[in-house]
Structure 1
Amino acid sequence: MDDSSKDTTGTDATGPDVEVRTLADLARVAGVSAGTVSRALAGKSLVNAETRERIQALARQYGFRPNQMASKLRSRRTGVIGVVIPLGHEKRQTISDPFFLTLLGHLADQLTEAGYDLMLSRALPDGTTDWLERITGSGMVDGVLLIGQSDQSEIIDKVAAHYRPLVAWGNHREGQKHIVVGTDNELGGRLAAEHLISCGARNLAFFGDTAGIEIAMRLRGARAAAEAAGVPLTHVPIKLADAEMGPQIEAAFAATSANYDGIVTASDLIAMSALHILHERGRRIPGDIQIVGFDDLPLARLTSPPLTTVRQEIAQGARVMVDKIRALIEGETRHSKVMPPTLIARETTRS
């Protein structure tokens, strides 16, 4: 009986109704084994192209859809990647932070293109040491992507020692066990301070809370540049949580010693808040104070004036993170990737 004699409802036009509900049913219609059907529907090259195309055409003709859940159970895969934001040092920071949203959006796009679903979790370690173990050992995900390391690098390293499909956005240090994709934060801090100094700034401040390793390294780079130039730099701890950031920046500018003429900020978000507060105080940017952000978020070019900042390659980083997690799931070996930052000069400095 020729395949063309069947209609699209799965009814044999010259005989009784034919029901195709299982792989075995489709295998009988195609005259092959159930294993061949399974491999053909999965697009495996083990099945020759002609047979593969014929089986796929029959599946379409009979409206056959493989049981995806059963397939995942057989392969011991969930088709889900966990995306976790650890907030060990910034418990009041929210997922709506523009940096989180920017990286999360790129990760979601890349995971969808790779055929994965995404499970998002905002982790608040709060003194516990098993927060990551609970996620990796849940059986609900095939791998975990971390947006940041917070102050949890040691715990992440401990898990990475026995759980391979784990990749973090963050700062890489020598001897670190977990795989990281991120920016050379120390170099970024140095570029920001050097740029301010080259633009005439002679009394620098660094705005940012250094409990997280990425920001600590940015301060380290800024300090190195200031020391090399013989320029003072004051560290002003500023939290990234909205409720604390504004008041802390207000207090920093209200201090009698706050005669800064150049500010390196740990993030674009802090820089934007500082710009708003300085505007309310009638200070001219960059005439009175010059400011450099960090991240180059899409909003950075829309501030008034447009923000000079250190660019992180967030979109590229998301692609690399997903490529690495896919390879690790398949048992391949991968290593960390540290990307160079770029100084983007706009109008908050006198470049």
Structure 2
Amino acid sequence: MTDKPIRTITDLARLAGVSPGTVSRALAGKSLVNAKTKERIQALAREHGFQLNQMASKLRRQKTGVIGVAIPLGHDHRQHISDSFFMTLLGHLADELTERGYDLMLRRVIPENNEDWLDQFIGSGMIDGLIVIGQSDQFDRIEDVADGYLPMVVWGNHQEGQRHCVVGTDNRLGGKLAAERLIAAGVTSIAFLGDVGAMEFAARYAGAQEAAGRLAVPIKNFTIHLSPDRISSEIASQLDEVLSNSDGVFAATDTIAFALLRELQTRKVAVPDNVKVVGFDDLPIASQTSPRLTTIHQDIAAGARGMVDLLLRRLDGNSSESLILPPKLVIRETA
């Protein structure tokens, strides 16, 4: 028993001593939960007047015309929404949602300050459905909510067997293409710049490792965060080691690549003569850097359309498969 109101799946899970996903499955009557646990959770729910997705059910009857967009920053909580990738994707999402008659409610979330962020957003009564940009380190939390909340689509990395619906690029293949390009350009050792605590970056690094290993080229990860108060200083502090061990750099994002090119220019290190660089994203500015950035293109506009299409299908009560977009190598001047 507890005096604290039971408002969310997480509240009920804490009371029952199980995971939020188990609560979702138990209240949905799924056979994955053993009968004894299911009965206990359902009894607690009745005792506290809790119904699975009671707020979501209400919203399906009384539409708000608003789609929530959450950006969880569990792996790098100092990162800003003003990041070029976020702004590019948000622009395309806003265009798509507006054309479909929806408004957008945006939240930047620091999960360590609020572990119930997903339940609270979904149960706020203010949104019809939810788009999550990036899995960060919140994969398990998103999986739990996906069991009981249909109208949610996530931009991120897909892995076999996951339950939540994802739209995103084949990051592992993109990493493989980046490493292969560097090696084809004559690179003998590769530095990967990025924080592999993020699922998408980890997949990009894994793809690059696969290609480098197959071709017997060493590769090493250097952790670089995307928060604006850290990215330049982290690159500067590690660049001597990068340059002493590598003649090619695979940057996990174009934003990291841009910061690297600035630092290399400051130190008068010639690109691509002394070091070759490949980025990832193909943001609009990638064709305007000096030299112009070789990068892995992910179709952000198509991804935004895909997320909105799948979300609207789910708002109508239908399930949907994840959408994996093919990456494309764009060769310019840095490699």
TM class by shorter chain equals: 0.7 to 0.9
Q: Residue 257 of structure 1: CA displacement?
A: 6.9
Q: Residue 73 of structure 1: CA displacement?
A: 8.4
Cα distance in structure 2, aligned partners of 1:260 and 1:249: 14
The question of 1:312 aligning with 2:326 is answered no
TM-score by length of 2: 0.81
The question of 1:131 aligning with 2:117 is answered yes
Q: Deviations over 1:257-287 (max 9, x none)?
A: 7331100010000000000000111110000
Q: Match for 2:274: what amino acid? A: D
Partner of 1:82: 68
Q: Residue 256 of structure 1: CA displacement?
A: 8.1
Partner of 1:245: 231
Q: Match for 2:122: what amino acid? A: T
Q: Residue 128 of structure 1: CA displacement?
A: 4.0
Runs of 4+ displaced beyond 3 Å: 72-75
Q: Residue 255 of structure 1: CA displacement?
A: 2.9
Aligned with 1:120 (options 82, 89, 106): 106
- Any residues of structure 2 matched to 1:191-202 within 5 Å, and which? 191-202=177-188
Aligned with 2:311 (options 325, 330, 337): 325
Q: Residue 139 of structure 1: CA displacement?
A: 1.2
Cα distance in structure 2, aligned partners of 1:115 and 1:73: 16
Cα distance in structure 1, aligned partners of 2:97 and 2:243: 49
Partner of 2:329: 343
Q: Match for 2:143: what amino acid? A: D
Q: Deviations over 1:306-331 (max 9, x none)?
A: 10000011000000100011110011
Partner of 2:208: 222
Q: Residue 130 of structure 1: CA displacement?
A: 1.1
Partner of 2:137: 151
My pick for the range that moved more, 256-265 or 307-316, is 256-265
The question of 1:255 aligning with 2:241 is answered yes
Q: Deviations over 1:133-177 (max 9, x none)?
A: 100111110000011111101000101110100000000011111
The question of 1:296 aligning with 2:282 is answered yes
- Any residues of structure 2 matched to 1:15-164 within 5 Å, and which? 75-126=61-112, 128-164=114-150
Q: List runs of 5+ in structure 1 lacking aligned partners.
A: 1-71
CA change 1:344–1:131 in 2 (3 A) is same
Q: Match for 1:234: what amino acid? A: K
Aligned with 1:272 (options 258, 263, 266): 258
Is contact 1:206–1:265 with CA below 8 Å preserved after alignment?
Answer: yes
Partner of 2:218: 232
Secondary structure at the aligned position of 1:242 is classed as coil
Partner of 2:153: 167
CA change 1:256–1:270 in 2 (3 A) is closer
Q: Deviations over 1:230-249 (max 9, x none)?
A: 01111111111111111111
CA change 1:260–1:162 in 2 (3 A) is same
Secondary structure at the aligned position of 1:231 is classed as coil
Secondary structure at the aligned position of 1:234 is classed as strand
Cα distance in structure 2, aligned partners of 1:299 and 1:281: 22
Secondary structure at the aligned position of 2:168 is classed as strand
Choose between structure 1 and 2 for higher RCO, CA contacts under 8 A separated by at least 6 residues: 2
Q: Match for 1:76: what amino acid? A: Q
Cα distance in structure 2, aligned partners of 1:241 and 1:284: 26
Q: Deviations over 1:184-242 (max 9, x none)?
A: 00000010000000010001100000111000000000011110010111111111111
Is contact 1:192–1:309 with CA below 8 Å preserved after alignment?
Answer: yes
RMSD: 1.4
Cα distance in structure 2, aligned partners of 1:325 and 1:74: 13
Cα distance in structure 2, aligned partners of 1:160 and 1:256: 41
Cα distance in structure 2, aligned partners of 1:252 and 1:74: 51
Is contact 1:308–1:345 with CA below 8 Å preserved after alignment?
Answer: yes
Percent identical across equivalent pairs? Answer: 51
Cα distance in structure 2, aligned partners of 1:320 and 1:241: 28
Q: Residue 75 of structure 1: CA displacement?
A: 4.2
Q: List runs of 5+ in structure 2 lacking aligned partners.
A: 1-57
Partner of 1:29: none
Is contact 2:70–2:130 with CA below 8 Å preserved after alignment?
Answer: yes
Secondary structure at the aligned position of 1:126 is classed as helix
